[in-house]
C-alpha cells in the first residue's frame, strides 16, 4: 500500500479524484498542513510533540528511533509525495526526505519506499481560451 502525502487539501482532492478511477484499495491520502518540521534542527521533544509528524508516524506505523531495514510491520509499504512544482513544494519534499533519512535511513535503502508524484506546472487548452 502507498500513503500519498499531499500539499494541502486542494492536492488531496486531486489525489482522491484520481483514486476514484484506479481504486482506493492500495492507497491512503493525508494532506499536510504547510511545511513539515526540520528534524535536524529540532530537539527530540520538539519532533515527537509536533502534531504533523505524530500523525504521519501513526498513519504509517513508524516508531521514533527504531531501526527499520524494510517495510515489514508498517501499515504502508511506500510514501508518495504529491506537492506543487514550486519552491515550497520542493522544500516540503526535502523536509520529508530529511525526516525519513534522519530517523529511519534504512527505509530510504528500501527500493521504492519514497516516491514522487510529479504534478503539472502548466495547463494547456485547445483554442483561444
pLDDT tens per residue, range 111-123: 999 999 887 777 7
Residue 36 near residue 99 (C-beta atoms within 8 A): yes
3-39 per-position pLDDT tens digit: 989 887 666 666 666 666 676 778 888 989 888 999 9
Torsion of CA 112, 59, 117, 65, to 10 degrees: -50
Based on the residue annotation, tell me whether 88 is a catalytic residue of this protein: yes
Euclidean distance between CA atoms 103 and 68, whole angstroms: 9
Based on the residue annotation, tell me whether 84 is a catalytic residue of this protein: yes
pLDDT of residue 39: 93
Tell me which residue of 72, 43, 42 sits closest to 60, measured CA to CA: 72
Euclidean distance between CA atoms 88 and 107, whole angstroms: 24
Instruction: Please measure the distance between the N-terminal and C-terminal CA atoms of the chain and give it in whole angstroms.
Output: 40
Q: Could you give the strand order of the β-sheet that contains 2-7, starting from the edge strand earlier in sequence?
A: 27-32, 2-7, 78-82, 114-116
Q: Which of 9, 49, 63, 88 is catalytic?
A: 88
Q: Which of 7, 25, 41, 63 is catalytic?
A: 7
CATH no. for 2-116: 3.40.50.670
pTM of this structure = 0.82
Chain mean pLDDT for the chain: 87
Amino acid at each position: 500500500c502507498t500513503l500519498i502525502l499531499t500539499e494541502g487539501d486542494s492536492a488531496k482532492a486531486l489525489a482522491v479524484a484520481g483514486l476514484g478511477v484506479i481504486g482506493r484499495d492500495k492507497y491512503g491520502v493525508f494532506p499536510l498542513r504547510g511545511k513539515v518540521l526540520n528534524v535536524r534542527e529540532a530537539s527530540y521533544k520538539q519532533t515527537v510533540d509536533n502534531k504533523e509528524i505524530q500523525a504521519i508516524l501513526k498513519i504509517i506505523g513508524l516508531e521514533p528511533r527504531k531501526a527499520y531495514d524494510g517495510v515489514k510491520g508498517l501499515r504502508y509499504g511506500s510514501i508518495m509525495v504529491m506537492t506543487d512544482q514550486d519552491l515550497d513544494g520542493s522544500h516540503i519534499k526535502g523536509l520529508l526526505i530529511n525526516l525519513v533519512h534522519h530517523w529511519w535511513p534504512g527505509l530510504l535503502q528500501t527500493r521504492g519506499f519514497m516516491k514522487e508524484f510529479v504534478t503539472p506546472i502548466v495547463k494547456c487548452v485547445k483554442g483561444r481560451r
